[in-house]
Amino acid sequence: MAETMARHTSSKPFGIVIHGGAGTITRSQITPEQEAEYRETLIEALEAGYAILEHNGCSLDAVQKAINIMEDSPLFNAGKGAVFTFDGKNEQDACIMDGGTLETGAVAAVRRIKNPVDLARLVMEKTEHVLLIGEGAETFAELQGMKLVDADYFYTDRRWQQYQRAKKNEEGQQTFLDHDKTLGTVGAVALDRDGNLAAGTSSGGMTNKRFGRVGDSASNAASTYANNNTCAVSTTGHGEYFIRAVTAYDIHAMMEYKGLSLKEAVHTAIHNKLSALGGTGGLVAIDSKGNFTWSFNTEGMYRGHFMFENEPIVKIYEE
């Protein structure tokens, strides 16, 4: 379920690891054509991020570019493929973090931002704040020259039908959330040639969510964390549990204060702590030495890595 130990040579290690969501993902639920689409888009995201790193670009740019490609795809629950809220809107959260400076930026509940991770980076670099939400975040985006998109840009028939099923299923029940476990939050972590780590996450939230719910994808401690002393982490899954466990930061803390390896810290975070709370999901991570790993407690997770002197690798099911 995990990949570890990048190949060390005289060259400084660098590379990128991505995810496109964890959940109930099995071969019986995906057609060969759909699987090919997912693999193609994940490879595209990996290659775009890696190209930046290979040409001495920074890890922040690589993470942002890889996430942009997944945000622009209708396959994932971020950007174009975002799910619908209780009132039939698309509402998105994102976060990005620089492991060298520990600066971070995030946005929540935005409805007209084509690439929410881009706005999160502007929050990090152009304001004194960490998190902007809703209309205020969109006003800031316009002031920064970002063009807002019409709400119908985010419409996909797949997500609309998912929303309709959720509305129908909620009748006579206490729950209002859709429990289709094929969530598609996207994220990336990267290490550049200068040894700088970065992480980013972008999500459309949960189908049929209401009451202004915001998940973990807008939190640098829960879903997104990067620190050059240890690691970079991006999570995906049922956000409330990642918030309670402070998962992304906790992995850093286990490495920093207990001396655990990346693999040990990630396994403990997912299979001991998150699972004990009843949470489901997974994450990808890379450390300052170029070791990388992923882990999940679901039936699958869209994921891939492209490390120095290797080829891009993409996986979907539990292997």
pLDDT value of position 4 = 46
Helix (H, G, I), strand (E, B) or coil at 232: strand
Beta partners for 112? none
Q: For the chain, what are the domain ranges?
A: 15-317
CA 106, 148, 189, 238 torsion: positive or negative? Answer: positive
Q: Edge-to-edge strands of the sheet including 292-296?
A: 224-226, 231-237, 281-287, 292-296
State the pairing for strand pair 131-133/104-110: parallel
Catalytic residues, by residue number, are 185
DSSP-derived secondary structure letter, 182: B
Among the CATH numbers 3.60.20.30, 3.40.50.2000, 3.50.50.60, 3.40.50.10440, which is that of 15-317?
3.60.20.30
What is the Cα 316 distance to its own chain's centre?
15
Q: pLDDT of 155-167, one tens digit each?
A: 999 999 999 998 8
Check: CB of residue 218 under 8 Å from CB of residue 225: no
Q: How deeply is 267 buried, as exposed, middle or buried, from its count of CB atoms within 10 A (0-12, 13-18, 19+)?
A: middle
pLDDT of residue 183: 63
Question: Cα separations (Å) of 156 from 81, 214, 266?
Answer: 6, 22, 34
Q: Are strands 186-191 and 197-203 parallel, antiparallel or unpaired?
A: antiparallel
Contact of 202 with 73, CB cutoff 8 Å: no
Instruction: Kindly provide the b/e burial profile for residues 11-31, where b requires at least 16 CB atoms within 10 angstroms of the residue's own CB.
Output: eebbbbbbbbbbbebeeeebe
What's the confidence (pLDDT) of residue 171? 61
Best CA proximity match to 76, nearest among 175, 212, 217: 217
- Bridge partners (DSSP) of residue 209 are none
Closest CA to 151 of 202, 204, 190: 204
pLDDT for the residue numbered 167: 86
Q: Residues in the chain, how many?
A: 319
Show the low-confidence residues of the chain (pLDDT under 70): 1-10, 170-183
Query: Quick one: 239 exposed, middle or buried, by C-beta within 10 A (0-12, 13-18, 19+)?
Result: buried
Strands of the sheet with 92-98, listed across from one edge? 131-133, 104-110, 92-98, 197-203, 186-191, 15-23, 300-307, 313-317
Contact 277, 235 (CB under 8 A): no
Cα R_g (the chain), whole angstroms: 18
Q: For residues 271 and 259, what is the distance between their CA atoms, to the nearest angstrom?
A: 19
Q: pTM value?
A: 0.93
Report how far residue 287's alpha carbon sits from residue 75's, in angstroms, rounded to the nearest whole number: 28
Give Cα 40 to chain centroid, integer Å.
18
Residue with tokens 């020259």: 145
Q: Distances from the Cα of 44 to the Cαs of 50, 52, 77, in angstroms? A: 10, 13, 17
